[in-house]
């Protein structure tokens, strides 16, 4: 006699594929989401809170705390994407939230801090520098989002950004603040020079200058390099904790100095790709 009350679940061979399919249907029916999709978005929200808190600190003239908050926001920004890929929790919602958060944290907060720090002394010119940087950051983020959808990009181009990315732009534009914190207050009295610096960083963000991405670095490392890398990490952490503003000044100047190296490497890859396409074209049969 057939069972009048069949079990609540998929029938058949009880295979794992059937169970997964049933679990997916039940999850959609009840509107649930896996936790792994929430964790990266939580990190993004924490980054947004840190960026907005930087503005509050700047309004209170606590500029060191403001810069530290933006740096904390950049750490959360670096983690959320990597955590999403590691947990396989990447979503379109998370990508849009991350882009909007980047604009607030790296396109608005740093120049608001600079404006309250010194740029307000030159009135409209200082505000034009703030607006110019913020608009260029928005354009840079929009171009980045569109470029992700380009299927024709060569594989090696994934190692490069087009222009300076928004987090690096924030690191660079706050260079006058680092210098002031380490005992060079002369820049605070030269707001026009700080405005020119803002325009320069804004130009780098919207330019076509290739810069190293670093997102695909560190996936695999040689066994012999583990110890040197750990020592370098420990040394860097010790320097940042003891001499933070000297360290970030060095990072900003080092990044600027490394841009020509990125350009040369990018052109090298371009030349190799063009040569390979030319050779491939010569090998095609002629009708």
Tens digits of residue pLDDT in 78-89: 888 778 777 777
Average pLDDT for residues 101-107, to the nearest whole number? 94
Average pLDDT for residues 161-166, to the nearest whole number? 89
Cα 103 from Cα 88, distance rounded (Å): 25
Percent of the chain at pLDDT > 70 equals: 78
* DSSP structure string for 223-268: GGGHHHHHHHHHHHHHHHHHSHHHHHHHHHHHHHHHHHHHHHHHHH
Range among 118-122, 217-221, 271-275 with highest mean pLDDT value: 118-122
**Is the domain covering 33-281 a CATH 3.30.70.580 domain?**
no
Give, in degrees to the nearest 5, the angle at Cα 100 between 94 and 103.
Answer: 140
Give the pLDDT of residue 31: 59
Question: Comparing 285 with 118, which gets the higher pLDDT?
Answer: 118
Question: Is there a contact between 156 and 188 (Cβ–Cβ < 8 Å)?
Answer: no
Closest CA to 163 of 217, 111, 201: 201
Closest CA to 194 of 129, 104, 283, 97: 129
Cα 80 from Cα 76, distance rounded (Å): 6
Evaluate if residue 280 carries a pLDDT over 80: no
Evaluate if residue 178 carries a pLDDT over 60: yes
Give the pLDDT of residue 189: 82
Q: What is the pLDDT of residues 5-29, one digit of tens each?
A: 555 444 444 455 555 554 555 444 4
46-79 as b/e: b if 16+ CB within 10 A: bbbbbbbbbbebbeeeebeebbbbbbbbbebbeb
Give the pLDDT of residue 27: 46
pLDDT band for 185, please (50, 70, 90 cuts): confident
Q: Any alpha helices (H) in the chain, and if so which ranges? A: 16-29, 38-59, 63-87, 92-102, 109-117, 124-147, 166-173, 175-181, 191-206, 226-242, 244-283
Evaluate if residue 95 carries a pLDDT over 60: yes
Cα 179 from Cα 64, distance rounded (Å): 11
Evaluate if residue 73 carries a pLDDT over 80: yes
DSSP 185: G
With H, G, I as helix, E, B as strand and everything else as coil, classify residue 162: strand
Alpha-carbon dihedral of residues 44, 48, 50, 56, nearest 10 degrees?
Answer: -170
Q: What is the pLDDT of residues 26-68, one digit of tens each?
A: 444 445 667 777 888 888 999 999 999 999 999 999 999 999 9
Cα 76 from Cα 72, distance rounded (Å): 6
* pTM for the full predicted model: 0.79
With H, G, I as helix, E, B as strand and everything else as coil, classify residue 211: strand
Q: What is the pLDDT of residues 132-158, one digit of tens each?
A: 999 999 999 988 888 765 666 666 777
Give the pLDDT of residue 115: 95
At a CB cut-off of 8 Å and minimum separation 6, what does 89 contact?
A: 34, 36, 37, 38, 39, 40, 83
Domain ranges of the chain: 33-281
Longest dimension (CA), the chain: 93
């Amino acid at each position: 006699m057939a069972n009048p009350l069949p079990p609540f679940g998929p029938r058949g061979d009880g295979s794992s594929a059937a169970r997964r399919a049933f679990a997916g249907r039940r999850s959609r029916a009840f509107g649930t989401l896996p936790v792994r999709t929430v964790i990266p978005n939580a990190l993004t929200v924490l980054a947004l809170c840190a960026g907005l808190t930087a503005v509050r600190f700047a309004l209170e003239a606590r500029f060191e705390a403001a810069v530290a908050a933006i740096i904390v926001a950049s750490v959360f920004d670096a983690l959320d994407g990597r955590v999403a890929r590691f947990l396989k929790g990447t979503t379109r919602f998370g990508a849009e939230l991350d882009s909007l958060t980047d604009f607030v944290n790296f396109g608005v907060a740093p120049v608001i801090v600079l404006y309250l720090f010194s740029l307000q002394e030159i009135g409209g010119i200082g505000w034009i520098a703030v607006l110019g940087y913020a608009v260029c950051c928005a354009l840079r983020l929009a171009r980045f989002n569109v470029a992700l959808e380009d299927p024709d990009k060569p594989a090696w181009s994934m190692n490069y950004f087009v222009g300076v990315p928004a987090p690096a732009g924030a690191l660079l534009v706050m260079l006058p603040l680092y210098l002031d914190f380490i005992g060079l207050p002369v820049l605070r009295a030269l707001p026009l020079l700080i405005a020119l610096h803002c325009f320069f960083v804004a130009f780098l963000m919207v330019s076509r200058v290739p810069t190293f991405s670093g997102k695909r670095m560190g996936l695999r490392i040689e066994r012999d390099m583990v110890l040197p890398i750990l020592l370098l990490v420990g040394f860097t952490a010790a320097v940042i904790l003891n001499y933070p503003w000297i360290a970030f000044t060095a990072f900003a100047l080092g990044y600027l100095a490394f841009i020509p190296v990125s350009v040369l490497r990018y052109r090298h890859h371009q030349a190799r790709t063009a040569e390979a396409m030319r050779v491939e074209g010569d090998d095609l049969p002629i009708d």
